[in-house]
Amino acid sequence: MVKRKTKFTCQECGYESAKWMGKCPGCNNWNTLVEELEVSKGRGQHIFKGVSQNGSKPVKITGIESQKEPRIPTSLKEFNRVLGGGIVPGSLVLVGGDPGIGKSTLLLQISAQLAEKEMPVLYISGEESPRQTKLRADRLGIHADSLYVLAETNLFDITSQIEQVRPAFVVIDSIQTIYKEEVTSAPGSVSQVRECTGELMRIAKTNNIPIFIVGHVTKEGSIAGPRLLEHMVDAVLYFEGERHHTYRILRGVKNRFGSTNEMGIFEMKEEGLREVLNPSEIFLEERTRGAAGSTVVASMEGTRPVLVEIQALISPTSFGNPRRMATGLDHNRVSLLMAVLEKRVGLMLQNQDAYLKVAGGVKLDEPAVDLAVAISIASSYRDRPTKPDDIFIGEVGLTGEIRRVSRIEQRIQEAAKLGFNRVICPKNNLDGWTAPKNIQVIGVSTVQEALDIGVEA
């Protein structure tokens, strides 16, 4: 008898070994290697027609006809923005997020919108029965005849139903529940996720069907399973937000057909997710005017300027080492800016606790928010408020200089549209364009100049 070959696969990173080891050499985690049967890498049989059995041949790149990829737009403009204009046919998209954040609700709404356009849509749920999916659809007010629901976890049965229905859009909820019979490991393991995703990718590419798959996340917030899963798909979308707050943020971490800097904002209502077309007003509607430690910055999220509030609380420490806590900002960046304020401006912050937060749950990672963070820290330390109609934009260097930022025109136009009267920005950004008439633009070259203008001594 032929001996069946086995291998040991890490359930965290996908590292493969011929023998068991207590510690994985790939990710340095303990007791993550699991014994699995090795799957033969034969050619196999294609389920769908139109696939060459003899293999494809290389062609010259100059002989390939270039054309703009058509997209399928949805009724949610924020969703279209994150994807780069709409759903690309034949694309494989991974959607991740915390449990209960609204991933299934978002995809069910998208499925219903496409089904209302007389497009056959197949919604495959491995976690809910068709009756449970129907209850959620009734709550969302979904009544589309072209929307088909399938409760199945066997990949072979799923591919058979896709072949029969021939949908224009497919949702897999979730990939961790799907299994392939040829793979002996349990559903959700590295081997099952890798093989199932590879089969779904072949279906999407050969039949030009867009497939959206839902992925679970770990405690650290990353998508569960091997990192190979994110490399296989065309786009990776993260659905962020607090379950106890109504606002949700959809970000594109990877996108082969568009920008990865775009952000879509939704509000969770009883009847489903509703898009927020003007997020700046939402983030600033509860702002306390005239409070020390509060500043407003115009940040760019892809092609969209967003005005958000940065809050800082500086208080004397009760311990030997002062605390530095930041929500929505890079902790190391905050420590760097506090060191610049102490060295270049003379603020004694070494015995002060610092707590910083970006209101609204937004995460800011661009350098243009440096000046607003520094101003908010100085405002709270001096207990002097900034003017409520001021906007602060600029990157802060280690020598205390204010460096230029990108897209200053769009940032200032957004500030003027929301009624702000004054913008403090880098001096080098003032050349080559004309500011709006209803807003005053002041250029500064150092942090000290910005503090003299924006915060009272």
Binding residues for ATP: 97-104
**β-bridge mates for residue 446, sequence order:** 401
Residue stretches of the annotated binding site: 97-104
Helix, strand, coil: what percent of the chain each, to 5?
30, 25, 45
Q: Which residues contact 392 (CB under 8 A, 6 or more apart)?
A: 295, 296, 297, 371, 372, 375, 386, 423, 424, 425, 450, 454
Distances (CA, A) of 309 to 275, 283, 391: 21, 7, 10
Closest to 79 in 3D by CA, of 244, 293, 273, 352: 273
Q: Which residues contact 4 (CB under 8 A, 6 or more apart)?
A: 37, 38
Distances (CA, A) of 276 to 84, 188, 191, 409, 454: 17, 34, 39, 23, 31
Strand runs labelled E in 40-180: 92-97, 121-125, 147-151, 169-173
| Structure tokens that stand for 111 in this block | 């499925």
In what helix (H) or strand (E) does residue 113 lie, and over which residues does it extend?
A: helix 103-115
User: What are the residue ranges of helices labelled H in 258-362?
Assistant: 279-284, 331-340
Q: Which residues contact 375 (CB under 8 A, 6 or more apart)?
A: 295, 386, 392, 450, 451, 454, 455
Length of the chain: 457
Q: Are strands 390-392 and 247-255 parallel, antiparallel or unpaired?
A: unpaired
Q: Are strands 422-426 and 390-392 parallel, antiparallel or unpaired?
A: parallel
